[in-house]
Structure 1
Amino acid sequence: MVDIATRVYNHKWKIDPIVRSLIDTDFYKLLMCQSVFRNKPDANVTFSLINRTKTLRIADIIDEGELREQLDHVRSLSLSRGESTWLRGNTFYGKRQMFRPDFMEWFENLRLPAYHLEKVDGQYELTFEGTWPEVMLWEIPALSIIMELRSRAVLKDMGKFELQVLYARAMTKLWEKIERLRQEPNLRVADFGTRRRHSFMWQDWCVQAMREGLGDSFTGTSNCLIAMRREVEAIGTNAHELPMVYSALAKDDAELAQAPYQVLQDWQDEHDGNLLIILPDTYGTKGFLDNAPDWLSDWTGIRVDSGDPAIAAETAIDWWTARGQDPREKLIIFSDGLDDTKIMDLFKQFEGRVRTGFGWGTKLTNDFRGLVPNDALAPFSLVCKAVAANGHPTVKLSDNPNKAMGPQDQITRYKRVFGVGDQEKIEVEV
């Protein structure tokens, strides 16, 4: 096991590129990329970095030269032979050859496209524009780089023993969470923490700790590189990006209303089993379910990613029941702002009523809250989203208006088309 503190002190991170592989990314990005490669390969999409925590002026903390160096390094990466073999031959979700030969041939020859970077009022404007399958793979590396450069900036002046104590405290803090979670042997928890992790090495340590501490209750990691190296399951399905871009490409209101369902029809053409997970909150969970075609109720489960998780789960249970389905056979994956207490509370609330899973993110892989002066390592809300497709802006409404994005006139239009009324604002937890 790597001595993280010593590695940080001795080398000041110089031997460690932040992103060391094109598969140092979330599994759902590759699944979605294959779907996009098949269904919308020529769509021109723009992604943009968005710092929701406006009080944190990241451009004042992170050196622009170091940021460019890390971004340029990612552009030099390509799949290794071992990585390609793993993707082509490994079994994912019980399925051999998850990735088609035509997609793999394209991926093996891929180099990520150019980026545009500038400083504006204490923030970095970082954008990527190009064909959808290429630019979408910038999302996770961009977030990982910004998050880790911030960590490095805070740690760079710490002494050897100070770093040893810091990481010992962080390890203890995580292990105490694991000890609480393993009191429930039927719990199922996965690592979803790649995008806002403290560092690659820290995420790798967290995965190893989860595997040892939780045993069979640990179901895997979203990070493909760590999954391959540590021989654990790669976990992930799909994200808001798909309905956001499909909707932006819609020609009129009628096509817009059907876009979120067309996404899942295309998804169903490729996947089955535990990959048939609905993410219903892009334009409001209740309206999505009320208007959903009957065939969607046969899907395996639903992921809850915004709003009050208990209300969303109750809405899903009511929907399944009304459609003649047994909720006890369905799966709800909670993935929004989780920590050990919220995981335990939700598990106890819904145990026996539905199968539950938990995607534990930032507070697993980046919980250094209270461990350094001025809380300088506290996690912050950073996202990298598709903001335009073929020149049309994308929109996300969410079940929490604090997570909404898009031009106001388009937000108003989408609320009308999808029948979204008043929503309760909830503080965004990372």
Structure 2
Amino acid sequence: MVDIATRVWNHKWKIDPIVRSLIDTDFYKLLMCQSVFRNKRDTQVTFSLINRSQHVPLAKLIDEGELREQLDHIRSLALRRNESTWLRGNTFYGKRQMFRSDFMEWFEGLRLPPYHLERVGDQYELTFEGAWPEVMLWEIPALAVLMELRGRAVLNDMGRFELQVLYARAMTKLWEKIERLREVPDLRIADFGTRRRHSFLWQDWCVQAMFEGLGDSFVGTSNCLIAKNRDLEAIGTNAHELPMVYAALAKDDAALKQAPYDVLADWHEEHDGNLRMILPDTYGTDGFLKDAPDWLAGWTGIRIDSGDPATGAETAIRWWKDRGEDPTQKLVIFSDGLDETKILELHAQFAGRVRVSFGWGTLLTNDFRGLTPDDRLAPFSLVCKAIEADGRPTVKLSDNPNKAMGPADQIDRYKRVFGVGEQAAQQVLV
């Protein structure tokens, strides 16, 4: 097992670049990328870093030169032969050759496009512009770099023994969570923690701990590199990015209203009926389900990623019943701001009513709360989102208005088109 504290103590070793592979990313990114490559490859997009936690002054904590060095390293990465072999030949979700030859040939020749970095006050403005299939692959590594450099800045003043104690406490903290979860019958849980992890080495350690502690209840990881290296299932389907860009490209209100369903029609065709998970909250879950075509009710399940998770699950159960479907055969994946207490609560509430699964993110791979003075390693909300597509602004409404993004006039328009009324605001932790 890696001595993480010693590696952190020597973190400037070239053996430890923050992002060490093009597949050190989430599986759903590659699945979406293939769909975009097929359907919207010429669409021009802009992605931007958004720090929702302005109390964390990233530009004061992180040296700009070091940040550029890490970003430049990512631009030097290319797909390795064994990584290409894994993607081309492995079985994902029971399907061989998930990734088509034309996509793989493109991916094997890819280098990520340039970035724009500028300091604005105590924050960094970091943007990426270009063809959608290329630019979208910046999101996860960019977030991983910022999160880890922030952590390194906090750890930089600690001595070697202080670091040993810190990581011992963090390991104990996670293991105590695992001990609570291992008592749950029929638990299904995956690691979704790449984008806001403490570090690559720490995420890898957390995945190994979950595998040993939970056995078959641990169903895999969203991180492709760790899945390959540890011979685990790669987990993921799609994300808000697809409907956000499709909606931005819509020519009028009618096309805008249809855009989220166009996404899933393309997705269905892309994957021959596999990976049929609905992410309904981009423009409000209630309106999405109310107007959804009947064929979507036959899909495998729903991922709940904003708003009150119990309310979202109850809404899905009612919708399935209204459409003549049996909710006990449907899968509900909870993936927003989870920790073990919320996982236990939701499992107790919905087990037996639906098939329950959990995508555990930041509070799995970056929970150092209470372990440093002034809680300087506490997780915070950092995202990298598509903000523009072919010159048009993107919008996200969410089931939590605190997660909404986009120009105010466009947010109002989208609320009108999608029939979004009053929403209950909830604190955004991560």
What is the CA deviation profile of residues 327-376 of structure 1, one whole-angstrom value per residue up to 9, with x for unaligned ones?
A: 00000000000000000000000011000100000000000001011101
- 3-state SS, counterpart of residue 10 of structure 2: helix
1:11-410 aligned at under 5 Å gives the runs 11-271=11-271, 275-410=275-410
The CA RMSD over aligned residues, in Å, is 0.8
Per-residue deviation at 1:285? Answer: 0.1
Percent sequence identity over aligned pairs: 80
Distance 1:189 1:139 in 2: 24
Letter of the 1:386 counterpart: A
- Alignment check: 8 A CA contact 1:273 1:300 kept: no
Per-residue deviation at 1:135? Answer: 0.0
- Alignment check: 8 A CA contact 1:304 1:313 kept: yes
Distance 2:45 2:110 in 1: 17
Per-residue deviation at 1:15? Answer: 3.2
Letter of the 1:242 counterpart: L
Distance 2:127 2:138 in 1: 9
- 3-state SS, counterpart of residue 275 of structure 1: coil
Report the TM-score, using the length of structure 2 for normalisation.
0.99
What is the CA deviation profile of residues 294-332 of structure 1, one whole-angstrom value per residue up to 9, with x for unaligned ones?
A: 000000000000000000000000000000000000000
- Alignment check: 8 A CA contact 1:12 1:156 kept: no
- 3-state SS, counterpart of residue 175 of structure 2: helix
Cα pair distance change 1:177/1:272, threshold 3 Å: farther
- 3-state SS, counterpart of residue 270 of structure 2: coil
Distance 1:261 1:26 in 2: 23
Per-residue deviation at 1:13? Answer: 4.9
Per-residue deviation at 1:10? Answer: 3.5
What is the CA deviation profile of residues 192-216 of structure 1, one whole-angstrom value per residue up to 9, with x for unaligned ones?
A: 0000000000000000000000000
How many residue pairs match? The answer is 430
What is the CA deviation profile of residues 59-118 of structure 1, one whole-angstrom value per residue up to 9, with x for unaligned ones?
A: 000000000000000000000000000000000000000000000000000000000000
What is the CA deviation profile of residues 240-299 of structure 1, one whole-angstrom value per residue up to 9, with x for unaligned ones?
A: 000000000000000000000000000000225661000000000000000000000000
Question: After alignment, is 27-36 or 151-160 more displaced?
Answer: 151-160
Cα pair distance change 1:272/1:350, threshold 3 Å: farther
Please list every run of 5 or more consecutive structure 1 residues that lacks an aligned counterpart in the other structure.
none
Please list every run of 5 or more consecutive structure 2 residues that lacks an aligned counterpart in the other structure.
none
Distance 1:18 1:206 in 2: 17
Distance 1:357 1:417 in 2: 32
- 3-state SS, counterpart of residue 214 of structure 2: helix
Distance 2:262 2:28 in 1: 18
What is the CA deviation profile of residues 182-238 of structure 1, one whole-angstrom value per residue up to 9, with x for unaligned ones?
A: 111311000000000000000000000000000000000000000000000000000
- Alignment check: 8 A CA contact 1:336 1:429 kept: no
Distance 1:88 1:238 in 2: 20
Distance 2:243 2:13 in 1: 38
Distance 1:190 1:239 in 2: 16
